Structure 1
Amino acid sequence: MLTMSVEERRRRLARRHGLAAGARADSVAEAVASLVVFHATDPATVYLSALARCPGAKLADVSAALYDERTLVKMIAMRRTMFVVPTAFAPVVHSAAGLAIADRLRRQLVQQLSTLPTEPAVEGDVAAWLADVEASTERAVDARGEALATELAKAEPRLRTAVLPTTDKKWDVKQNITSRVLTLMGADGRVVRGRPAGTWLSRQHRWASVRGLWPDGIPAVPEQSAREALARRWLEVFGPATVTDLQWWTGWTLGATRAVLARLDTVEVDLDGAPGIVLASDVDHEPDDGGEPPVVTLLPALDPTPMGWQQRDWYLGPHRAELFDRNGNIGPTVWWEGRIVGGWGMCAGEIVWELLEDAGAEAVAAVESAAAQLHGRLESASVVPSFRTPLELRLTSAT
């Protein structure tokens, strides 16, 4: 059986994820494509992940790729998570993961509208009623090109239909279905997320017509072919890995994951005693660094590299408790030689950091330089992650 050491996996990670000196991207779109997708639950992640891998990029370049050039698009996909996806690859991701999520969201909403009290009351065929609301909303988005949810709710008043509370629990409150319908339509490929309502850090966004990307709607890709393409691309970037890693990343069932892998040409590999897989075309051993100088990289919370595997000890080491929140979201991290050695945050507009292990004087100097460079590229913005982790909280609360 093929064997790959932790050191070799780290070299692969650094080179394939744009964390090595000779592996940087020339454009924002190239940076995203090199990682398959970028996490976009936190708007700042997209920008900081791109800057980390594309030395020549500015914040405006990320916005341009998303909203002017349209080489990238935001969409709900794996694990019901928001991602930024290369537009050319979006139909694959949509078919492989998005459509199943849309189906689940629609069934859940129909079930609630059928069984819970609403204002105004939804009567008759609830599924048909919801389909008509979606169609009307899609026409409103197409007519405007881009609009806020509040603007769409004025155009289609049924979006303001509210599900009423049935208990006295604090969390059980009156809720309009506006965001749920639009999220469902996004997962279904009928609308996409557009420009933020404020700055690049804003969590409020507009909804945009898919016609600006695909005049005839998002192209259809057979689900089986899409899943094979997505798994193959993931293995090219994140392999070698375990079956569990791929299952977790895609959100598929174990059976579905194994069925997809059975149709790919893979070989088994020993990953430091754990069984893994790698594409048969990717079994060559990664050459050593050949004297290439190591590089420090500051990655943001929810960056696609640390969030690419479920089994993370080979690059995370003993630092999980400090760098993850209780829900499994990773905070800002400091990388050196293909592994995590610390974390960082922003306090009073300045980047603050801490190494969680002794990486040596060269690493310390490199972190100081990388932090100074990133600070200048943020153009006076101060970034606070949506999900706070123990180390980031400790660093940013220091006086």
Structure 2
Amino acid sequence: MRGGVSAGYWANRFGRKRTLLLNNIIMVIALAVEILSKNLKSYEVLIIGRFIAGINAGINTGVAPMYLSEISTVSLRGLCGTFNQLCITFGVFTSTVMGLNHVLGTDSHWQYALGFPALMVVWQLCTLSFCPESPRFLLIQRNSEEEAERALVWLRGTHDVSDEIEEMIAEREHAKHIKKFTVCDLFHTEELRTPLVICLAMHLSQQLAGINAVIYYSTSIFETAGLSESYSQYATLGTGAVNVCMTFVSALIMDKVGRRSLHLLGLGGMFIASYILTLGLIYDQYDSGHSWVGVICVLAVVFYIIFFASGPGAIPWFFTAELFAQGPRPAAVSIGVLVNWSANFCVGLFYPFLQEAIKAYSFIPFVVFLAIFWVYTLFRVPETKGKTIEEITAQFQTSVRYSPVPVTDEND
């Protein structure tokens, strides 16, 4: 939460690429503190290390989708944004494997699992260092047309980038004639407030759908359904693998099917899967001992993950960057990440108490939220597939004050 709300500030001050690289310093500090906790036999030090690691994660989840959105072409924006989520799901799957009892989930080896991100730090330093900064950041915010053109040539693999350069120049020139943007404008200006509400609803639909209750507590959910501890761990591992595979499929079809359509499909499928899971848990509570109930619950969770990965897992992260122009984008992304992680925190903190209090009925709140967000998406969320940022932002404008390019009549 703290890292996410600061992401926009660092992205504007240092640039998107440089912020991601400098953020590795925070991760190195976190790793050192976490490993030190093992030697000191101090869980307080471990908590501090996890807190620092959380700041790193919050900054990454804000800046990485913004960077990918700004360097990609219109036709590949959904693919790039979804691949960001693919890497996250692969990380979740990897950590699940490491946490198994016969891998690194032991009293003597858990510190090696926490130290694994050191390899990711080295990987990013060896790869991202050779990538260019965001051309839009270089031209619009740093006024460096030459550097922006070099970056675009590198990214596109061609010297014919004049159209994109002219589009960014037009946005920069128009920005000179409008008042300086402030975060408060996101709430006070209608053409910014409307897309902000949509983005926050998208982030909330991802977290309040119960995904982290499934991710964090899937093993205990399976045990509640009658599976043994070992089988529950392997079932959890299977759901992680399904999440990775379906996120990859989603990346391939995102720019063909569209964001709104996939989000509706995902929320609808999650609603049905959650409803079936709830029925299975309730049936097992009153008439336990049937192995087929456990199978039904596992299948419900698997299908829940499939539908989550098809859209809601990836879309909220890059959708915010699509709905805002260069000026308000970092602030909007920061607020979106803050809300997402806040909802994540609430679900992770309170679900165990909810599960203990109402047991088999613990997924009913998520079923209700899924129904509400499906209706909201159907009537309020626009489709952004195949549209430029300027075309998308024009949908929300009641005046031309924040428009990056003048909006003219189709017949002019």
TM-score class normalised by the smaller sequence: under 0.3
TM-score (norm 1): 0.23
Q: Taking CA–CA contacts closer than 8 Å with sequence separation of 6 or more, which of the two structures ends up with the larger relative contact order?
A: 2
TM-score (norm 2): 0.22
More helix by share: 2
More strand by share: 1
